[in-house]
Copies of this chain bind each other. A is one copy, B any other.
Amino acid sequence: MDNFDEATRTLATSVLEHCRALGWKAATAESCTGGLIAGALTEIAGSSDVVDRGFVTYSNEAKMQMLGVPSETLAAHGAVSEQTARAMALGALANSEATVTVAVTGVAGPGGGSTEKPVGLVHFAAATPDGVIAEHRIFAGDRGAVRHQTVLHALEMMLSRAEEAH
C-alpha cells in the first residue's frame, strides 16, 4: 500500500535522485505538516542514503530548543512568519549532517486563522550552505488539503535547490 499519492512519491523520488547525484544529505524542519515531508521522502525505498533527519517542531519550545529559533523572532513575528521559517531552515542546517533543508510553518486550520494570517497561509524556507530562500503561499481547502499542498511545495523547493546546484 502507499501512504502518499503518486504526485508526492514522484516528487520525493526526484528530490532523492538529485540529492544523491550531488552527494547531499537532506533534513526537514516541520511545524504545520508535523512530519509529513520527512514521511514522504522516507516512503521511497533507498531514501536512507539521503535523508539524515527531521525536526518536527510543533511547539514554540521545540522550535527554540531543537533548531535554535530565537525567542525574540517568535515574539516579534510569530511562529507563522518568514523570519521563523528562515530561522528553522538555517537551524536544521546547523544541527544536522544535511546540505539542504526545508522548513515549513503555517496555519493548517480549521482554527488559528486571523485577518493577517489566514487559514492556509504557509511560510517556507529552503537552506543550503549558499544561503536561504523564503517563499509563502495561501492554500485553499481543509486542514488535510493545506498540509498536502504544503508537502508538495516543500519538496519542489528542495528540488529547485538541488537543480540549481547541478
List residues of chain A with CB under 8 Å of any chain B CB: 1-3, 25, 28, 30, 32-39, 41-43, 45-48, 51-59, 61-62, 65-66, 95-97, 108-111, 141-145, 147-148
Contacts and interface: CB of A to CB of B under 8 A. Distances in A.
Contact of A147 (B37, B43, B110): B43
A95 B62 CA distance: 10
User: 10 smallest A-B Cβ distances: which pairs?
Assistant: A34-B42, A35-B35, A54-B56, A53-B62, A35-B38, A35-B39, A36-B39, A1-B144, A38-B56, A51-B58
A53 B57 contact: yes
Contacts of A35: 28, 30, 34-39, 42, 54, 56
